[in-house]
Chain A
Amino acid sequence: MTDIDQDSELISVTIDGQEVNVKSGEVLIDACEEVGVDIPRFCYHKRMSQVGMCRMCIVEVDTGRGPSLQPSCMMNVSEGMIVDTQSEAIKKVQDGVLEFLLLNHPLDCPVCDKGGECPLQDQTMAFGPGETRFVEEKRHFEKPIPINDNVFLDRERCILCDRCTRFADEVVGDPLIQFIDRGNSTQVNTFPEDPFASYFSGNIVQLCPVGALTAKPYRFKARPWDLEEIESTYPNPLGDRIVVQSSRDQVLRLQGLDSEAVNWGWLCDKDRFSFEAFQSEYRLDNPLVRGGGLNKANKLGTGLVAASWAGAMSIITESLDGVNPDRVAVIGGARLTNESQYAWAKLAKGFIGTDNVSADLGDELPPDILLGLPRATIADACQPNSTIVLLTSDLKEEYGTLYIRLRHAAKNLGVNIIDLSPVETALSSDAAVSLHPLPGEVGNVVEALVTGDIPREVGGISGEEISQAHHIIKDTNVVVFVSRSSMGQSVIPISEALTSLQQLDNCRFIPLVRRANTMGALDMGMAPGLLPGRNSLSSGSSAFSDIWPNLPSEPGANTKQILQKAANGEIDTLFLLGADPITDYPDKSIAKAALQKVNTVIAVDLFVTPSVYESDVALPAASFLEANGSHTNVEGRITPIRQKVTAPGTARPDWMIAAEISHRLGHDLGIDSPEDVWEEINSRSAVHEGLDYEQLAHDDNGHLITATGRIPFIPVTERVETRPIDSYAMRLIVGKRMFDQGIVTQMSPSLCSLAEQSQLRINQYDFNRLGIQEGTQVEVSSGGKSISISVKVDNRVPRSSALIYANLEGADPRELLSDDEHSIDIRIDPTVKGTA
């Protein structure tokens, strides 16, 4: 891995007769590439360690003792080195290496998916022998074998470069594929009956330099020369850069784009294979309205019926006609591009005149945390010798590529991780200190950790462990990652912890959001009291009033208040922008009541989600594969989203829908393309200053917004009292899994079966006290509410805590939540048999 110091000194070497300056300590193969000399390789990958397996990159190196053949991936440059990559000897080596590699490689290129984009094929054409001297039988294996649900392995094609096995072991820490056997019978395989159950398995397909690894969604779908591609951004909180590849107006594959700042070319399977969902037959492709028989619109109808855009629009304009703006609300928008968010914020706040606009669904951190703290980048966090504090859930489950970056930093760059997540996570074993405070008490633990004023025990953690962390944290650069780690814990303990951490010198933050573009939504004013560019309603109204004529004067309601008002009958028209409160809002019953009570619910979405099903008008929107725009990630990095295919049916980009509604209301939204948005913003938002929309497409790292502090962080001064926990109770953690009942996962045929059943996970110690069998249904209750759920032993959960993952099939932990508690205590009754 090329973790060389950015400012290491330059040394002079001679490469192919040309004297060049390269960074000291750099790997020779990289140095050559930088000066434009391309060296063929199979096993070398700059994001992984060097192994020298394939010998393809051999060059002639003279360090003063005469030329010798050396693999350039295993050698660092040194002063005065003379390198020849083109000599006769090298040509013979390359020819020979390829002849060896082809001894066992089948020549089935015409039926191989890799044919056309295959490094082995390309390099054989460029450097290889025209013929082989090998007349014996090649190796034979069963082909292909599935190594997990989505990835197939053809061992005959494998050239044993160690890329996939290295990736599994050192990049993501899932060493479930290995070299098995030895010598001529060496093969890559899993343990029998133990699949390569990694969240990142798609990456090994992208890494494979031959066609040995193929992914089910792309197998036999296209030839590489038929593919068109475009660089875009996957709308997840990290804004992973991707390449969208399509053929005949159909997306066939997403590949990771190596962006230095963000994902380093990696993607998690949830994102990589999710393109299937956006092309599924269940996509909403035409407007639907509530109606009854013979496709007639009818407000009292029991289902949704097909409608024209004009018909749907007339229902919308009617519902907005003469209505008091306070009785209109907008929930959602985190799925949208920045431009669509601006268009909708402008429509709602600037024309309709309501400030009841919120992209949050009751499960995000509040805007003051997301916008008010001094922000860091992932690269800042991964600086050698800095300290990372994790106030998050399991990053491997929710923020896959961030997990990869931080794991790399901890393992290779000497970064100390202080893990304060409620349960043991995939990063815990690499953390310098791993503490798991009781839910609700993280604030007290962090206070002790920061001040060094350490009691004997706090939040279920011994003073000794905290003081260990205290010694690490002082006098270093600290980057804090913070997220809503558990829905069973209110925001207050997190705010408390942040208030303490803020007092440290050199401490910066990366608040993690749950939904794709929540950061963009806030920067585009999709929160009550906010205007684009992190202006508050009061301070920014002068800048916007000329083009946003009907700006409300008073801050509006947040999601919780909107839903309450709606349930009380105080909202007439509710827009849901890609939001599904019935599935996602912590209080399912109020969400349901609200949607039923509101006169007209207008959903703009990709699928008929449970909430869309309850709405009166459903408008089909274009997905990120079908619209242009941009995305803001958790660092504040703006990267382009670019259209590759046509939206299904009459689905349109979200901004276009806003413009259409505005037009029908008699206003000109002034937005005819995503570019128009930036013309309006650039002159009015100091935050977005210097952003050039045209330029975005040309930088893999996008444009970073650095301004902070315009919306101040609100420190918490009062302490949440440490609540004693009696020996029968357990404290509830509601976590999140990578694969759940989320609509995109469920609509992807390759992913939907990966979601598990809802289970109560507890420590072996607590389990033994229950005296029951694993898998038994128990009744879990909290304050009069109860669910029936099966029990599983999970030793990652600390004693006296209990973990339930949200949004899985089966018991719904949201039913145990309560609004006014900072943490939830549950009781387990093993004697009551549930009816699950």
Chain B
Amino acid sequence: MSRLNEENLRLARQILSLYPKKKSAMIPLLHLSQEQNGMVTNEAMEHIAELVEVTPAEVLGTCSFYEMFKRHPVGEYQINICHGISCHLLGAEEVLEHAEESLGVREGEITKDGKFSFEGVECIAACTEAPCLQVNYRYINKVNLDAFNELITDLRNDQKAEIPKHGTLAKTRQKIPSEKLAGPSGVEDATPPEWLQRNKESQ
């Protein structure tokens, strides 16, 4: 039961209608299914394949290319500890080791309560804030071991409202008025944008 649920299927159809070619909606739909289940399941990929009219293998090919799509269960909070060069120099390995010890699981595993999993990742582009990490892709900067402990306690006690559960990528849903939807037509059929018209006239 991890196909898209009814609510998300409705959203999925809305997402599909944003693109002239159905296949273009594949990645947004993968995000949607990850938001629903915290991971992308095989059933979800099959469902997406049906929706965008490709084979499940093509969805898997795309999904597996991106590391942010998890095809195995992860904790409610997926912690990505950067061990890029800056973070490494400023103690990332210690943070990783500490995470392992304090959470009682190894990299890639989930804590017994299902709350946490963590892994070391390549540079997450916050070198000025090193050593840094992400919880469900929300940045936590300049961490040290105490800060890490505090973070875990806060998360356990639901004190970090700004961090949603794993899979929720966007802070807000995109709202596109119906007249602006591309719809399932060819690119050629779309009305040219106004600025193009203006440019032509000025020439």
Which A residues between 182 and 225 are near B, CB-CB below 8 angstroms?
182, 189-194
Contact A191 B42, beta carbon cutoff 8 Å: yes
Establish whether residues A175 and B58, one from each chain, have CB atoms under 8 Å apart when the complex forms: yes
Partner of A178 from B46, B60, B66 at Cβ < 8 Å: B60
Q: Does A361 contact B (CB under 8 A)?
A: no
Kindly state the separation between the CA atoms of A176 and B57 in the bound complex, as whole angstroms.
5
Please indicate the chain B residues that have their CB under 8 angstroms from the CB of A176 in the complex: 55, 57
Q: Are A182 and B64 in touch, CB under 8 angstroms?
A: yes
Tell me, in angstroms, the Cα distance from A181 to B60 when the chains sit together: 9
Q: Is B61 an interface position by the 8 A CB rule? A: yes
Residue of B nearest to A192 (CB): B42
Asked if A190 contacts B57 (CB within 8 A), the reply is yes
* Distance in angstroms between the alpha carbons of A174 and B58 in the assembled complex: 10
What bracket does the count of chain B residues touching chain A fall in? 10 to 19
Which residues between 51 and 103 of chain B lie within 8 Å of chain A, taking CB atoms?
Answer: 54-61, 64-67
Tell me if B45 is interfacial: C-beta within 8 Å of chain A: yes
List of B residues within 8 angstroms of A191 by Cβ: 42, 45-46, 55-57, 59-60
The CA-CA distance from A190 to B58 in the complex, in Å, is 9
Q: Quick one: CB contact mask for A154-185 with B, threshold 8 Å, 1 for yes? A: 00000000000000000000111111111000
Are A181 and B65 within 8 A (Cβ)? yes
For A177, the closest partner residue in chain B by CB is B57
A178-B61 in contact (CB<8A): yes
List of B residues within 8 angstroms of A182 by Cβ: 64-67
When distances are taken between beta carbons in the complex, the residues of chain A under 8 Å from B61 are 178-180
Q: What is the CB-to-nearest-CB distance from A463 to chain B, in angstroms, rounded to a whole number? A: 22
A194 & B65 in contact (Cβ 8 Å cutoff):
no
Q: How far is the CB of B138 from chain A (nearest CB, A)?
A: 24
B65: chain A residues within 8 A (beta carbon):
179, 181-182
* A180–B60 touching, CB < 8 Å: yes
Contact A178 B57 (CB under 8 A): yes
CA distance A175 to B67 in the complex (A): 22
CB of A729 to closest CB in B, whole Å? 31
Q: Which residue of A lies closest to B67 (CB)?
A: A182
B residues less than 8 Å from A193 (CB atoms): 42
CB distance from B1 to the nearest CB of A (A): 17
Contacts of A178 in B (CB 8 A): 57-58, 60-61
Instruction: List B contacts of A181 (CB < 8 A).
Output: 64-65
B15 to chain A, nearest CB (A): 22
Verify A194–B57 contact, CB threshold 8 A: yes
Asked if residues A175 and B64 are in contact (CB atoms below 8 Å), the reply is no
B56, A194: Cβ atoms closer than 8 Å: yes
Please name the residue on chain B nearest to A168 by beta carbon. B57
- A169, chain B: closest CB distance, angstroms: 8
Residues of A within 8 A of B54 (CB): 175
B193 CB, min distance to chain A CBs, angstroms: 29
Among A587-644, those with CB < 8 Å from B are none
Residues of A near B57 (CB, < 8 A) are 175-178, 189-191, 194
Closest chain B residue, CB of each to CB of A180: B64
B3 → chain A closest CB, angstroms: 15
Interface residues of B in 15-58 (CB under 8 A from A): 42, 45-46, 54-58
Measured CB to CB, the closest approach of chain B to A504, in angstroms, equals 29
Q: A180-B61, A180-B64, A181-B65 are in contact. Are A175 and B55 (CB under 8 A)?
A: yes
Query: Complex Cα distance A747/B182, Å?
Result: 53
Scoring B45, B59, B64 by chain A CB atoms within 10 A of each residue's CB, the highest score goes to B64
Interface 1/0 per residue, A498-536 and B, CB below 8 Å: 000000000000000000000000000000000000000
Cα distance, A191 to B59, chains bound together (Å)? 9
| Residues in B whose Cβ lies below 8 Å from that of A177 | 57
A-side contacts of B42, CB under 8 Å: 191-193
Across-interface contacts of B60 in A (CB, < 8 A)? 178, 180, 191
Q: How far is the CA of A176 from the CA of B45 in the complex (A)?
A: 13
Distance in Å: Cβ of A141 to nearest Cβ of chain B: 15
Q: How distant is A265 from chain B, measured CB to nearest CB, in Å?
A: 24
B45: A residues at CB distance < 8 A: 191
Chain A residues positioned under 8 Å from B66 (CB to CB): 182
Q: Report A567 CB to chain B, min CB distance, Å.
A: 50
Q: How far is the CA of A494 from the CA of B147 in the complex (A)?
A: 80
Q: How far is the CA of A182 from the CA of B54 in the complex (A)?
A: 20
A191-B46 Cα distance, complex, nearest whole Å: 9
Chain B residues with Cβ below 8 Å from A192 are 42
Identity of the chain B residue whose Cβ is nearest the Cβ of A169 in the assembled complex: B58
Provide the bound-state CA to CA distance between A419 and B66, in Å.
Answer: 39
| Docked complex Cα distance between A655 and B55 (Å) | 49
- Pick the most buried of A176, A178, A181, A182: most chain B CB atoms within 10 A of its CB: A178
Shortest CB-to-CB span from B96 to chain A, Å, is 21
Question: B residues within 8 A CB of A194?
Answer: 55-57
Q: Looking across the interface, which residue of chain B has its beta carbon closest to that of A173?
A: B55
Q: With the chains together, A713 CA to B33 CA distance in Å?
A: 60
> Could you tell me which residues of chain A, from 429 to 452, have a CB within 8 Å of some CB in chain B?
none
Q: Which residue of B lies closest to A429 (CB)?
A: B53
Q: How far is the CB of B49 from chain A (nearest CB, A)?
A: 8
Q: How far is the CA of A818 from the CA of B9 in the complex (A)?
A: 48
Min distance, Cβ A160 to any Cβ of chain B, angstroms: 13
Complex alpha-carbon distance, A193 and B60, angstroms: 12
Inside 8 A of B56's CB, which chain A residues have their CB? 191, 194
Chain A residues closer than 8 Å to B59, beta-carbon distance: 191
With both chains docked as a complex, state the minimum distance between the C-beta of B119 and any C-beta of chain A, in angstroms. 15
Q: How long is the Cα–Cα vector from A177 to B61 in the complex, in angstroms? A: 9
Closest to A174 in B: B55
Q: How far is the CA of A192 from the CA of B60 in the complex (A)?
A: 9
A70 to chain B: closest CB distance in Å?
A: 27
Q: CA of A180 to CA of B42 in the docked complex: distance in angstroms?
A: 13
A194 to B56, CA, bound (A): 8
- A265 CA to B61 CA, complexed, in Å: 28
Q: What residues of chain B lie closer than 8 Å to A190, measured between beta carbons?
A: 57
Binary contact readout A448-483 vs B (1 if CB under 8 angstroms, 0 otherwise): 000000000000000000000000000000000000
Q: Report the Cα distance A181→B67, complex, angstroms.
A: 9
CB distance from A430 to the nearest CB of B (A): 14
Interchain CA distance A491-B38 in the complex, whole Å: 59
CA–CA, A179 and B65, complex, Å: 9
In the assembled complex, the Cα of A179 lies from the Cα of B57 at a distance in Å of: 9
A179: chain B residues within 8 A (beta carbon): 61, 65
Q: Would you give the shortest CB distance from B181 to chain A, in whole angstroms?
A: 24
Q: Which residue of B lies closest to A193 (CB)?
A: B42
CB of A565 to closest CB in B, whole Å: 53
* Cα separation A178 to B56 with both chains bound (whole Å): 10
- Looking across the interface, which residue of chain A has its beta carbon closest to that of B63? A180
Minimal beta-carbon separation of A656 from chain B (angstroms) = 50
A816 to chain B, nearest CB (A): 33
Give min CB distance, B156 to chain A, whole Å: 33
Q: Compute how far the CA of A193 lies from the CA of B41 in the bound complex, rounded to whole angstroms.
A: 13
CA gap between A177 and B59 in the complex, in Å = 11
Give the complex CA separation of A194 and B58 in angstroms. 12
Q: Compute how far the CA of A192 lies from the CA of B57 in the bound complex, rounded to whole angstroms.
A: 8
Q: Which residue of B lies closest to A196 (CB)?
A: B57
**A427–B165 alpha-carbon span in the complex (Å):** 45
Q: How far is the CA of A811 from the CA of B94 in the complex (A)?
A: 70
CA distance A178 to B46 in the complex (A): 15
Residues of A within 8 A of B67 (CB): 182
Nearest to B42 among chain A residues (CB) is A192
Interface residues of B in 169-183 (CB under 8 A from A): none
Interchain nearest-CB distance for B72 vs A (Å)? 13
Question: Which residues of A are in contact with B by a Cβ distance under 8 Å?
Answer: 174-182, 189-194
Query: What would be 18 A-B contacts, judged by CB atoms less than 8 Å apart?
Result: A175-B54, A175-B55, A175-B57, A176-B55, A178-B57, A178-B58, A179-B65, A180-B61, A180-B64, A182-B64, A182-B65, A182-B67, A189-B57, A191-B42, A191-B57, A191-B60, A193-B42, A194-B57
Known contacts A177-B57, A191-B57, A192-B42; 19 additional CB pairs below 8 A are A174-B55, A175-B54, A175-B55, A178-B57, A178-B58, A178-B61, A180-B60, A180-B61, A180-B64, A182-B64, A182-B65, A182-B66, A182-B67, A189-B57, A191-B42, A191-B45, A191-B46, A191-B56, A194-B56
Those 3 A-B pairs whose CB atoms lie nearest each other, nearest first: A178-B61, A191-B56, A191-B57
- Using a CB–CB cutoff of 8 Å, the interface residues on chain B facing chain A are 42, 45-46, 54-61, 64-67
